[in-house]
A and B are shown apart, each in its own frame.
Chain A
Amino acid sequence: MNYKRIKEKIYKWIFTVLAFSSLFFLVGIMIVLFKEGTPIFKDVGFFKFLFGSKWYPTYEPPDFGILPLILGSIWVTAGAIIVCVPLGVGSALYLNELAGFRQRQFLKPIIELLASIPSVVYGFFGMVIVTPFLQKTFNLPTGLTALNASLILGLMATPTVCSIAEDALSYVPRSFREASFAVGANRWQTLTRVVIPAAGSGISTAIILGMSRAIGETMTVLMVAGGAGVIPKTFLDPVRPMTSAIAAEMGEAPMGGDHYHALFAIALILFLITFVFNIIAEIISRRFRIKLGLSG
C-alpha cells in the first residue's frame, strides 16, 4: 500500500514537472528575445528604433529604424483581412445557415483540410503564378508587391477564419432562431439581427486569430512581398514585413552585433503584438461562451 502511494506520488510529480515545462518554453522564448533584443534599444533608443523611417542595417554607420518594416506588416495584414474576412465569414455563414446537413458534412472537412496547406506552397504559388499575372494586369515593374502578399496571405487565412467562425455560429442555441422566426422575421433577418450578433464575439475571435496568423506568417511574405525596406505608398509597392526581414537578414548579421540584436528586437515586437492579439481573442471568446451559457 505504501509502495503504491509513493508510486502515485512519483507519477503526479512527473506530470507536474512536464506540464510546467511547456510554461518554461514560453518563458524561455521571452527570455531569449528580451536578452538578445533589448541591447539595441540602449544603442539606438527605443523610439528611434520603433519609429525611425530608415532601415539600412549594413551601412556604416547603420540606420536601424523599423517603421518601414512595421508598416509593411500592417499593410499586408490589413490587405489580408480585406480578403479573408468576407470570404471566410461568408463561407462560414453559408455552411451554417444554408448548406444542408450532407453538404455541410462534406464541405466543412474540406475547408479544414485546406487550412493545412503549408505556407511555403502558398508562397511558391504566389511567386510563379500570381506574380506574373499581377505584373501584366497592372503593368508594374514587378509583381512582387504588398498586393500579392495580401492576396496570398488572405487566401491562406480564409480556411482558418471560416472554420473557427463556423464553430462559433454552431454554438448559437436553436432557441434564439426559433424565437426570431416566431415573431415573423425571415431567415435573412434572423441571420443578420439575431445569429450574427449572438455569435459576434466568436466571429471576432476568428478574425483576430486570422490576423495573428497573417502578421506572423514568414515564408509567404518572404517569397512574394518583394522585400523593399521602405515605407510603402500604395498596395502596388514591394514591402518588407517584419517576419521576412528576420528570415532574410539573420544569415547576414554577425552574431552579437547590432544588426543581430536589432533582428531579435523585431522578433520581440512581433511576439508582443501576437501575444496581445491572442490575449484579446482569449478574453472575447471567454465572454462569448459565458454569454451563450456555455462552460468557460
Chain B
Amino acid sequence: MKKLAMIMAIGIAAISLAAGTCFAEKIVVAGSTTVLPIAQKTAEVFMDENSGVDISVRGGGSSVGITALIDGNCDIADSSRPIKDVEIQKSASNGRDPVAHIVALDGIAVVVNKSNPVSRLSKKQVRDIYMGKISDWAQVGGKPGKIVVVSRDTASGTFEAFGELIMNKEKVLPSALMQASNQAVGQIIGQTPSGIGYVGLGFMSGELKAVEIDGVMPSKETVLSGKYPVSRPLFMYTNGKPQGVLKEYLDFIKSKKGQELVETQGYVGLK
C-alpha cells in the first residue's frame, strides 16, 4: 500500500516535471464553436507541415476562450465577437494584453425554402418578421401562408450577431423555433416550405435559398466588400504580439493557403 503510494507520487511528480519542460512547441487553442472548424482544419494542415508542433483545439465558446487566455490556460482564444470591456479590464489586472487577429469573415445568410418565391427582403422586413409584426408571406410578396420563424438559440454567438446586425436589439418573438445549431436551422428550412431562418454562409445547401437583403445577395464578394449588411469578422486573440511557432501558425492561417482552407470550411477568406 505504502509502496504503491510512493510510486504514484513519484510518477505524478515526474509527469508534471516533464510537462513543464520539454513541450515548448505546444499550442492550445480554445473558444468559439464558430471559429472551431477553421482552427481545426488549419491546425491539421499546419501540423502536417511542421511535425514538431503539437496543437490542441478545444471549443467551449467565445467566453471560455477569452477567460482561458486571461488565466493563461490557452495560447489562442477563438472568438466570434470582439473582446468586451470587462474582459479587457480583467486582462489588465492579470497582466495580460489580448491582441486581436481577424482570421476570416462570416456572412449570415437569411434563408428560405427553395420553393419559396420570395427572393428579396429589406432589413426592416426581416426584423418585422422576427418580431412578429409580419406573420404572413403575402405581406412581403409571397404566397399567402403563415411564416414559420426559425432562430438560433439565445445563447449562441450567431444569435447575438443577428440581434445586433438585423434586430437592433429588439427581441425575437417567443414562438420562434430556437435551434441549437446551424445544421438544425438548415434542416428545418429545407423541410418547411413556409419557413425562414438564418445560417452562416458555410452552412448553405441545395435545399436552401438565400434571400437578398436590401438588394444585396450574400456571397464571398459582397461580404468581402462590406456591401452585404449581415456579416461579422471572426477573431483569434493572443496574449501580446505572437512569437515563434505561435506567430508561424497565425501567419499560416492568414496566408493564401490558410485562407483557402478557411473557405473549404464554408467561411469567407480575407483575400
Task: Determine whether A and B are in direct contact in the complex, meaning some CB atoms lie less than 8 angstroms apart.
Answer: yes
Q: Say yes or no: A248-B155 contact (C-beta < 8 A), given A59-B171, A60-B169.
A: yes
Across the interface, which residues of A come within 8 angstroms of B177, CB to CB?
141-142, 226, 228, 238
> B87 — which chain A residues lie within 8 A by C-beta?
254
- Which residue in B63, B86, B175 is a CB contact (below 8 Å) of A253? B63
What is the CB-to-nearest-CB distance from B116 to chain A, in angstroms, rounded to a whole number? 14
Q: Is the Cβ of B178 less than 8 Å from the Cβ of A238? A: yes
Determine the distance from Cα of A161 to Cα of B154 in the docked complex, in whole angstroms.
Answer: 35
B155 and A57 form a contact (CB under 8 A): yes
B33, A251: Cβ atoms under 8 Å? yes
Check: A56 CB closer than 8 A to any chain B CB: yes
In the complex, whether A184 has a CB less than 8 A from a CB of chain B is: no
Q: Which of A54, A230, A231, A245 has the most CB of B within 10 A?
A: A230
Compute how far the CA of A56 lies from the CA of B160 in the bound complex, rounded to whole angstroms: 10
Interface of A is mostly: loop
Which residues on the A side are within 8 Å of B195 (C-beta)?
141
Binary contact track B180-220/A, C-beta < 8 Å → 1, others 0: 10001001100110010000000000000000000000000
> What is the bound-complex CA distance between A227 and B84, given in angstroms?
26
Nearest chain A CB to B48 CB, angstrom units: 28
Q: Which residue of B lies closest to A55 (CB)?
A: B154
Does B61 count as interface, using CB distance less than 8 angstroms? yes
A141 and B63 contact, Cβ closer than 8 Å, known pairs A57-B154, A58-B159, A257-B86 = no
Q: Does B148 contact A (CB under 8 A)?
A: yes
Chain A 123-145: CB-based contact to B (< 8 A → 1; otherwise 0): 00000000000010000011010
Interface residue A250 (Cβ < 8 Å from any Cβ of B) = yes
How many residues of A sit at the interface, in one of the four size bands? 20 to 34
How long is the Cα–Cα vector from A58 to B171 in the complex, in angstroms? 11
- Interface membership of A43, Cβ < 8 A: no
B179 neighbours in A (Cβ, 8 Å): 142, 144, 226-228, 238
Q: Whole-angstrom distance between the alpha carbons of A56 and B174 in the complex?
A: 10
CA of A57 to CA of B191 in the docked complex: distance in angstroms? 30
Q: Which residues of A contact B178 (CB under 8 A)?
A: 226-230, 238, 240
A112 at the interface (CB under 8 A from B): no
Q: How far is the CA of A44 from the CA of B230 in the complex (A)?
A: 33
* Interface check A1, CB cutoff 8 A: no
Whether, in the assembled complex, A249 has its beta carbon less than 8 Å from a beta carbon of chain B, the answer is yes
Given known contacts A58-B155, A141-B188, A230-B175, is B180 in contact with A248 (CB within 8 Å)? yes
Question: B44 at interface (Cβ–Cβ under 8 A)?
Answer: no
Q: What are 7 of the A-B contact pairs (CB < 8 Å)?
A: A142-B188, A144-B180, A229-B153, A230-B175, A248-B180, A249-B155, A254-B67
